């Protein structure tokens, strides 16, 4: 029988790509999602159960029906700036929602999960590349909500035998190379989709927030990781937690270990799309570190993870395929 995996937030950007990868790996992805920022049309590889993380009765019914052997937790609120303006939303959804969900999991003996964490748990980097043992000092409520859940998972491992893997993504990028699913946030805050919308003429220009950082061209440098490479890491992490009966909590960075500046991203997008992309200088945004680059050696060694789409142009080309048809 095909093992079912409960994919909480499977109708969203990263979750929908993970569902496709789960299907290809021989699992049945069962999406549990309230469609607050996700789309029913992105749920193509298994059933959709519409529900909130905090709706314990609905969640229990979904688990009783599909009997998942493990879960992936993508659901959450994801915009850093909004988390500063409205932290209550973030603590309620990203902490409160997941605590409620973990109670149901405990009651139902669902004790293996892969959690979407973030590079934002590190805060301002003291050294780059950033390794997993770098100090954890988030600089915004979004990052704190993820770090709090990582701590909860570790405490639940010790007390209740929960087995979890937290995957700390750097900047997710790209889309399904087939062009059927991709990034669709509203409002969009991520650089590549904003740059592509500018190429499409949906935006007059792209704002460059600061060009006086201590980086080669003065603009911020980030580590972009293709969403399909995130998905493949989820499958490897899942296989690892399914293979053991023991509790435990692990964390891995997911990135390419390469940094690209805002200007380099815009130039690459101009070359991929063949369009002029107007820019406008804007002041620095509070809390934007100059450089965020991962070391993902641990994921490569322990999970045997091999990202396939590290090339920035490839990532932008995949996003472009999707973006033009949005
Ligand atoms: N996109 C990135 O660059 C990035 C980087 C680091 C970490 N992450 C993390 O990865 C995860 C997925 O990000 P994404 O870009 O796919 O976001 P997304 O908004 O596209 O997907 C989130 C999904 O969760 C659902 N959801 C939200 N709250 C819910 C709730 N209370 N109950 C049920 N469903 C709920 C939404 O409807 C949506 O389908 C998030 O946890 C995010 O913090 C993303």
Digit-coded pLDDT (tens) for 293-307: 999 999 999 999 999
Q: What is the model's pTM? A: 0.98
Co-location of 269 and 300 in the same domain: yes
Co-location of 157 and 269 in the same domain: no
- What does the pLDDT read at residue 290? 94
Residue 142 a catalytic site member: yes
Co-location of 201 and 114 in the same domain: no
| Cα of 14 from ligand 1 centre, angstroms | 7
Q: Is the pLDDT of residue 287 over 90?
A: no
265 φ/ψ angles, rounded to the nearest 5 degrees: -65, -45
- Residue 181: inside a domain, yes or no? no
Alpha carbon of residue 177 to chain centroid: 18
Which residue blocks in 226-311 are alpha helix, DSSP H? 227-242, 262-273, 297-302
Q: Is the pLDDT of residue 286 over 90?
A: no
- Residue 108: inside a domain, yes or no? yes
Report how many domains make up the chain: 2
Tell the residue nearest (CA) to atom 20 of ligand 1: 12
- Could you give the CA distance from residue 227 to residue 136 in angstroms, rounded to a whole number? 24
| Cα of 9 from ligand 1 centre, angstroms | 6
Radius of gyration of the chain from Cα atoms? 19
Digit-coded pLDDT (tens) for 108-152: 999 999 999 999 999 999 999 999 999 999 999 999 999 999 999
- Residue 185: inside a domain, yes or no? no
Co-location of 143 and 238 in the same domain: yes
Residue 246, burial from CB neighbour count under 10 angstroms (0-12, 13-18, 19+): exposed
Helix (H, G, I), strand (E, B) or coil at 20: helix
| Cα of 272 from ligand 1 centre, angstroms | 27
Digit-coded pLDDT (tens) for 144-201: 999 999 999 999 999 999 999 999 999 999 999 999 999 999 999 999 999 999 999 9
- What does the pLDDT read at residue 149? 98
Q: Is the CB of 227 under 6 A from ligand 1?
A: no
The residue whose CB lies within 8 Å of the most ligand 1 atoms, and thus the one to mutate among 30, 78, 80, 153, is 78
Confidence of residue 102 (pLDDT cuts 50, 70, 90): very high
Co-location of 204 and 107 in the same domain: no
Token pair belonging to 41: 């049309």
Q: Is the pLDDT of residue 74 over 90?
A: yes
Q: Which of 254, 274, 305 is the last residue of a domain?
A: 254
Co-location of 236 and 271 in the same domain: no
- Could you give the CA distance from residue 163 to residue 306 in angstroms, rounded to a whole number? 23
Co-location of 269 and 295 in the same domain: yes
- CATH code, domain carrying 35: 3.40.50.720
- Could you give the CA distance from residue 18 to residue 38 in angstroms, rounded to a whole number? 14
- Which H/E stretch holds residue 321? helix 312-323
Co-location of 239 and 269 in the same domain: no
Co-location of 35 and 78 in the same domain: yes
Q: How many CB atoms lie within 10 A of CB 56?
A: 15
- Residue 178: inside a domain, yes or no? no
Q: For residue 24, give its domain range.
A: 4-173+224-254
- Residue 184: inside a domain, yes or no? no
Co-location of 20 and 113 in the same domain: yes
- Residue 180: inside a domain, yes or no? no
Instruction: Provide CB contacts within 8 A for 26, sequence distance 6+.
Output: 2, 3
The mean pLDDT of 26-40, rounded to a whole number, is 98
- Which H/E stretch holds residue 72? strand 70-73
Annotated active-site residue in 13, 32, 122, 142: 142
- Residue 33: inside a domain, yes or no? yes
Co-location of 231 and 206 in the same domain: no
Confidence of residue 1 (pLDDT cuts 50, 70, 90): confident
Go through the chain and tell me how many residues it has.
326
How many Cα atoms within 13 Å fall on the side-chain side of residue 50? 7
Co-location of 217 and 230 in the same domain: no
Digit-coded pLDDT (tens) for 197-243: 999 999 999 999 999 999 999 999 999 999 999 999 999 999 999 99
Q: Angle of helix 191-199 relative to helix 312-323, nearest 10 degrees? A: 60
- Residue 14: inside a domain, yes or no? yes
| Cα of 218 from ligand 1 centre, angstroms | 31
Instruction: Provide CB contacts within 8 A for 21, sequence distance 6+.
Output: 228, 231, 232, 234, 235
- CATH code, domain carrying 282: 3.90.25.10
- What does the pLDDT read at residue 203? 96
Please state, in angstroms and as integers, the Cα–Cα distance from residue 100 to each residue in 60, 92, 162, following that order: 11, 10, 15
Instruction: Provide CB contacts within 8 A for 312, sequence distance 6+.
Output: 224, 260, 264, 265, 268
């Amino acid at each position: 029988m095909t093992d079912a995996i409960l994919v909480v937030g499977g109708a969203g950007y990263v979750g929908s790509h993970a569902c496709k990868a789960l299907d290809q790996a021989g699992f049945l992805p069962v999406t549990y999602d309230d469609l607050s920022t996700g789309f029913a049309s992105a749920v193509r590889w298994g059933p959709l159960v519409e529900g909130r993380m905090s709706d314990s009765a609905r969640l229990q019914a979904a688990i009783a029906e599909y009997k998942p052997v493990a879960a992936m937790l993508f659901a959450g609120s994801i915009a850093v700036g909004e988390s500063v303006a409205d932290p209550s939303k973030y603590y309620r959804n990203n902490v409160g929602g997941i605590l409620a969900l973990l109670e149901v999991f405990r009651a139902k003996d669902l004790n293996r999960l892969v959690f979407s964490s973030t590079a934002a748990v590190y805060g301002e980097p003291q050294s780059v590349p950033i390794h997993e043992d770098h100090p954890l000092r988030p600089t915004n409520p979004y990052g704190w909500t993820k770090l709090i859940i990582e701590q909860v998972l570790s405490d639940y491992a010790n007390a209740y035998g929960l087995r979890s893997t937290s995957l700390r993504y750097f900047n997710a990028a790209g889309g399904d190379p087939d062009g059927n699913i991709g990034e669709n946030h509203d409002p969009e805050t991520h650089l590549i989709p904003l740059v592509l919308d500018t190429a499409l003429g949906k935006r007059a220009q792209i704002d460059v927030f600061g060009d006086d950082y201590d980086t080669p061209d003065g603009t911020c440098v980030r580590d972009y990781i293709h969403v399909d490479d995130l998905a493949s890491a989820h499958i490897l992490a899942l296989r690892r937690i399914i293979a053991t009966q023991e509790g435990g909590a692990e964390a891995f960075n997911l990135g390419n270990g390469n940094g690209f500046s805002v200007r380099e991203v815009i130039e690459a997008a101009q070359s991929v799309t063949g369009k002029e992309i107007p820019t406008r200088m804007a002041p620095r945004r509070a809390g934007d570190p100059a450089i965020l680059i991962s070391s993902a050696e641990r994921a490569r060694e322990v999970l045997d993870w091999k990202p396939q789409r590290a090339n920035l142009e490839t990532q932008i080309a995949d996003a472009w395929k999707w973006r033009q048809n949005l």
